[in-house]
Structures are given as structure tokens and as C-alpha cells.
């Protein structure tokens, strides 16, 4: 059996994809930076970086499948060009290496942020028109451009399938992700108020399985939303309150106040070099409810995600056992 390359396996979703592949008997190779490691699963690490084309070629050599999940998902960077180097040029390096290796299939992990949200229904899908101008911030713009690179390679004959995860939640969120940070802030009592926004919340294990289903059944050049439930932030906090027995915050912060906090926090970060507590790009993203449908993935891939509250429960338990919080 040929090896399977997984980029981003030291991160949240990438770790779950690598774990699932190992459980199914695949030989899993991972591209990891010198300071990173993949704990708890038997993988073959290859030291490298998305921006180093030669290291990516070494990692892909001899592989039959590639799952490209690695990305720079910071919502603030002192040098925004770093996001484009990793997300756009890094994706180009991975796809070029996959093409040279003659792989059977590439699964490219995009983001729900690249999905358009229509004004009439408020529920987006893979066919909703969207442009680069609609992307709020460098993270979304870089991922949008990276998705275009994946489409270009697919049009040229590389067997690429694109998946667009929504907001995964669950165990092993080591960094944590922005969604995991919501759970952690709730557990630590650091969320006295909330804003009127919405996310599509999904169990990270379901998203990992969706990657394998996309590999097995996805159509080349197509993209598939991997999500579950459309929830307001207030509903997410109410679910966390049910799980933990704690009170959910009741104060809804006006968007103008959040905007001012984002401006001040991001300006201070520009002076100190330390990431802002309230990134301006996060505030801009929050103005739009990122609600979508995963019907296409259900119909074509057999994707059947479970309830979001189960994933939130697992996230609470994991953070309680791995971080300094009390549940």
C-alpha cells in the first residue's frame, strides 16, 4: 500500500484526519515543521514547510493520496504576506508535488469562509456566487485564492476534490481554533457578553470522515460543504450552559461596540506585535452569519453529521482535562 500524505496533522482537524486514516490501515506520512509534532498516532513525519517546495516534494514522493489541510488561519498577522505565502503558494507547492508524484486523489481543505451567503435566504451552498471582494480579511482572501489554485489544477487534470468545513468542534483542539476558543472562554468565565452572529457548528470527527468520503466518492473539481447545524452564538452559549450547568451570558453587545474594541485591540497589536484579543478581521466576519447547507455532501458523499451538542460536550470534556479550567 502506498503512503498517504497529510499536511496539517499537528493541528486540530488534520490530526483527526490522520488518526482516522491510521485506524483504517493506511500508512500515513505527515509534513511537519521542526517545532511541531503529531502525538498519539503512528505516523511517518517528514520535516518541512509548505513554503519550501523541495521539502513538499520529498513528503509527497511515493504517496498515492494527499490530504492538504495545513493552513495559516491567524485572523491577525503583523506581516499579512505570511498568510498568502503559506495558504496560496503553499497550496500550489502541494498540488505541484502531488502532480509530479502521480497521486490518485488530492483532497484540498478550504473553508466555509469561501462560500457565498445569499441575501434572500441567508443560507449558502456550493453554488452561491461569491467574489474575492466579499472576503473579509487576509485569512479569507488567502484561502479564497488558494481554492482558485486548487480549481486550476483540477481543470488541468489533477484529481482534486475540495471540501469546505464549517466550524469544527471537539477533542484535541490543541491551539485552540477560534471555535474552540469560544468554549475555552466560556469555561474560564471570560465571556460576559456576546454579539449577534452565527456559525455552522460540526463535530470534528464528522468532518474528518467527510474528508475520507470526499476521497472515495467526490467528483473531481467539485467542492463539498462539511457542516452540521446553523446556530447563533447565543444558542451555542446556551448549549454550553446546559452541558456545564453554568449560566450563559445574557448581555448582547452592539456591533458598534465590538467594532470599536476590535479597532483598539488591533491597533495596540500593531504597536506591540502581540496578537490582539479582539482581531478586527474577526469582528468583520462576525457581522455575517455563516449559515450554510451540507445537502450536496449528504447526497453525493453519504455524509451524515451528528448533532452539534455532542461535539460541544466532547470539547468541554477535553478542555477540562487538558487546560486549567474547572467544569
Q: What does the pLDDT look like over 254-304, one tens digit per residue?
A: 878 777 877 887 777 677 878 878 787 777 777 789 999 999 999 999 999
What CATH code is carried by the domain that includes residue 152? 3.40.50.720
Q: Which domain holds residue 12?
A: 3-169+202-227+291-303
Q: Which residues pair with 231 in a beta bridge?
A: 199
pLDDT above 90 for 16: yes
Structural domain contains residue 318? no
284 inside domain:
no
Q: Is the pLDDT of residue 244 over 90?
A: yes
**pLDDT at residue 324 in the model:** 61
Look at residue 178 and tell me if it is in a domain: no
Answer whether residue 122 is part of any domain: yes
Residue 244 lies in a domain: no
> How many domains does the structure of the chain reveal?
1
**Quick one: pLDDT band at residue 325, thresholds 50, 70, 90?**
low
Q: Read off the pTM.
A: 0.94
pLDDT of residue 1: 62
- At residue 63, the pLDDT reads 96
The residue among 286 and 306 whose pLDDT is bigger is 306
Average pLDDT over residues 303-312: 97
Question: If you average pLDDT over residues 179-185, what whole number do you get?
Answer: 93
**What pLDDT shows up at residue 322?**
85
pLDDT band at 231 (very low <50, low <70, confident <90, very high): very high
In this predicted structure, what is the pLDDT of residue 78? 84
What pLDDT shows up at residue 104? 97
Q: Is residue 56 part of a domain?
A: yes
Within a domain: residue 107? yes
> Is residue 242 a part of any domain in this protein?
no
Amino acid at each position: 500500500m502506498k503512503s498517504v500524505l497529510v499536511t496539517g496533522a499537528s493541528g486540530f482537524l488534520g490530526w483527526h484526519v490522520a488518526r482516522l486514516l491510521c485506524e483504517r490501515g493506511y500508512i500515513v506520512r505527515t509534513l511537519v515543521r521542526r517545532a511541531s509534532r503529531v502525538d498519539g498516532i503512528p505516523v511517518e513525519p517528514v520535516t518541512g514547510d509548505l513554503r519550501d517546495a523541495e521539502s513538499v516534494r520529498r513528503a509527497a514522493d511515493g504517496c498515492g493520496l494527499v490530504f492538504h489541510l495545513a493552513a495559516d488561519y491567524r485572523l491577525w498577522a503583523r506581516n499579512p504576506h505570511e498568510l498568502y505565502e503559506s495558504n496560496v503558494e503553499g497550496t500550489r507547492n502541494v498540488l505541484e508535488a502531488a502532480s509530479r508524484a502521480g497521486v490518485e486523489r488530492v483532497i484540498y481543505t478550504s473553508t466555509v469562509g469561501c462560500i457565498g451567503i445569499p441575501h434572500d435566504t441567508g443560507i449558502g451552498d456550493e453554488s452561491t456566487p461569491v467574489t474575492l471582494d466579499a472576503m473579509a480579511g487576509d485569512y479569507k482572501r488567502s484561502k479564497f485564492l488558494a481554492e482558485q489554485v486548487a480549481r486550476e489544477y483540477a481543470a488541468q487534470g489533477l484529481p482534486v476534490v475540495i471540501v469546505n468545513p464549517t466550524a469544527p468542534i471537539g477533542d484535541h483542539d490543541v491551539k485552540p481554533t477560534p471555535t474552540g476558543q469560544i468554549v475555552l472562554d466560556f469555561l474560564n468565565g471570560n465571556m460576559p457578553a456576546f454579539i449577534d452572529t452565527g456559525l455552522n457548528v460540526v463535530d470534528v470527527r464528522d468532518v474528518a470522515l467527510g474528508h475520507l468520503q470526499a476521497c472515495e466518492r467526490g467528483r473531481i473539481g467539485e467542492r463539498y460543504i462539511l457542516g452540521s447545524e446553523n446556530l447563533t452564538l447565543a444558542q451555542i452559549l446556551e448549549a454550553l450552559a446546559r452541558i456545564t450547568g453554568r449560566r450563559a451570558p445574557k448581555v448582547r453587545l452592539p456591533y458598534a461596540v465590538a467594532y470599536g474594541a476590535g479597532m483598539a485591540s488591533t491597533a495596540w497589536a500593531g504597536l506591540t506585535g502581540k496578537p490582539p484579543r479582539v482581531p478586527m478581521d474577526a469582528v468583520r466576519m462576525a457581522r455575517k452569519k455563516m449559515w450554510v447547507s451540507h445537502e450536496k455532501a449528504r447526497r453525493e458523499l453519504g455524509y451524515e453529521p451528528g448533532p452539534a451538542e455532542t461535539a460541544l460536550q466532547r470539547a468541554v470534556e477535553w478542555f477540562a482535562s487538558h487546560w486549567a479550567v474547572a467544569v
